[in-house]
Amino acid sequence: MAKLPEKLTELLKLLQKTNEDEIDCDAFWEIAAELSERDTLDIDELKGYLHHLELCPGCAEEFALLKAMVNDD
């Protein structure tokens, strides 16, 4: 079998990690400001949001920037 392109392989790995009940980007950003102000995250309470950050590099990058801006105050 031919070697899959790197991007396709990465996509397949992400698809394997998906849950039946995923949080989309819009739902994530509804609470992103609150999350960015917390010093610690309760994994049980926020498991779905943390999972979204793991699977969505765009949201993960933007959230890291938001958190850095809040912490610079």
Question: Could you read off the pLDDT of 46-65 as tens digits, one per residue?
Answer: 788 888 888 899 999 998 98
In a domain, 40, yes or no: yes
In a domain, 6, yes or no: no
In a domain, 13, yes or no: no
Question: Could you read off the pLDDT of 23-49 as tens digits, one per residue?
Answer: 889 988 887 777 767 777 777 667 888
Q: Which domain holds residue 43?
A: 22-71
**Structural domain count of the chain:** 1
In a domain, 26, yes or no: yes
In a domain, 16, yes or no: no
63 and 36 Cβ atoms separated by less than 8 Å: yes
| pLDDT reading at 1 higher than 50 | no
Measured from the Cβ of residue 59, the count of other Cβ atoms closer than 10 Å reads 19
In a domain, 9, yes or no: no
pLDDT value of position 73: 58
